[in-house]
Every structure is written in structure tokens, then in C-alpha cells.
Amino acid sequence: MVNETRAPASGQALQRRQLALASRILSSQGHDDFNQGQVSSRLKGSDRLVIKKAMSGFMCAEPADMIACAVDPAEPAPAEAPPELPLHQAIYRSRPEIGAIVHTHPENALIFGATDYEIEAISHEGSFFLGGIPRFTESSQTILNYDMGVKVAKCLGENSALFLCNHGIVLAAKTIRQATVLAIMLERACRIQLLAKATTTQYRTSSEHELLDKKEYIYSDVALKSYWDTSVANLYQRFPDVKEWN
């Protein structure tokens, strides 16, 4: 049985609340797929992660739906652990700086990942991801074992995003706030580019000299936090009871 006491209780409570908020926000932005997909975060300096449990959908997630697991795949997982826990474990073990992971199946990013398109700077979001997002093509199956998770982690490399071909997306970042916002951004960038390609043969993209400025201003750490805060405020408007989560 996983020893949850290795991470401070207050830290775990904050993780659970943020992961539940992230789940609801992702649901509102088109990342639902019944009860599929996960969000997870690792408490800094801990060998534990907290992840959305199996059979729990984003749309109705609450802090109690988040469970503690070991990063080490050799330790027994709780009975309620999601099947794709090995995906998260492999990325955390290969990237010590990563503090949060989002894995979802949004429709536009799934379609985009199945093509040979590369992200273009059509939108602000496209500008952020410009330079290529790797595609994992070895399997489109659910990542059920650690060896396959290691292959996914290797394909992700030092990037923040990955297309799982015919499966979904993976976002890895320092915080759950950043990973959540990046997942929303990637789905939006894919949707806008697919629309552009479907409606015209010619379109403009941002000029090269603007790209760095966009990243430093529109998508700075401060800006990403503000997008998270805005998303949480919108969530409170839709679900007032969420404010009462402890």
C-alpha cells in the first residue's frame, strides 16, 4: 500500500484541489472523453504523485477523486489507480523538473496528430508551439505498462507537448496550472489551423521577428498564471460549490 505520509498532508490537499480544478477546466474546454484521460502532479521534493483515479471523468471531478501513487513503478499501485499511471511515472522519472502532466483526448488535437501537419503560427497559441511537436507513432493503444511509458517519455524528450498518434496528447510542465493552460492552448492551435486549412488555400502567419515577443509577453509564466486564474473564476461562476472545496 502506498505510504501517503511521505508528502506533507497540506501539500497533498492543495494538489488534490488544483487537480480537481484542472479537471473541471479541461472539461469546459473540450477535453472530455467519458472517464478517460488523466491529470497528475508531483509534490516538489517528493517521490509521490497525485493523479485522477480510474473511472472518474473530468466533468464531475472533485478533490476526493485524486489519489496518491508512487513515482517508482516497482511500488504497488492503489486499486483505484488509472490504467495509464505508467505513462505519468515514466515521464516524471525521465524529467525531474516536471511537476505536472496532462493527458487528454481532445478532438481537434487528435485529428491534427493523425496528420503530417506541423503547427504554424496562425494563432498566438500556434506561435507558442512553433518548432514542431513530436508524434509518438509506435502504438495508438492505451499506455498500460512502464516499458511503453518509457518509450513515450523518450519521444517527448525535452518538449512540453506530444501527440500520441490516434490517441491523444500529453503536456508536461512545472505546475498543474501551466500544464492545464498548455493543453487548452494546444487544442485551440490545432482547431484554428484545421479550420484555416479547410476554408482556404492561403493564409498569413505571424512574422518570425514577432514570435519571441509573443512567447515572452503573451505566454510568460505570469501570463499563464493569469489564464489559470481566469479559468478558475469562470469555473466558480458555473459551479459555485467548487469555492467550498478544501
Confidence at 43, pLDDT banded by 50, 70, 90? confident
Q: Which residues contact 172 (CB under 8 A, 6 or more apart)?
A: 91, 95, 98, 100, 101, 156, 159, 160, 161, 162, 179
* CA-to-CA dists, residue 106 to 135, 213, 239, angstroms: 15, 28, 22
Closest of 125, 91, 83, 100 to residue 22, by C-alpha: 100
Q: Is the pTM of this model over 0.85?
A: yes
Residue 5 pLDDT more than 70?
no
Residue 153 pLDDT more than 80?
yes
* CA-to-CA dists, residue 153 to 75, 92, 113, 181, angstroms: 19, 9, 17, 21
Mean pLDDT confidence for 204-216: 86
Cell reading at 156: 517527448
* CA-to-CA dists, residue 187 to 5, 24, 102, 191, 217, angstroms: 36, 16, 12, 6, 20
Q: What is the pLDDT of residue 8?
A: 54
Residue 24 pLDDT more than 60?
yes
Q: What is the pLDDT of residue 1?
A: 37
Closest of 86, 97, 119, 62 to residue 239, by C-alpha: 62
Q: What is the pLDDT of residue 42?
A: 95
Q: Out of 3.40.225.10, 3.40.50.2300, 1.10.3430.10, 1.10.1060.10, select the CATH number for domain 4-244.
A: 3.40.225.10
Q: 173 or 214, which is more confident?
A: 173
Q: What is the pLDDT of residue 236?
A: 96
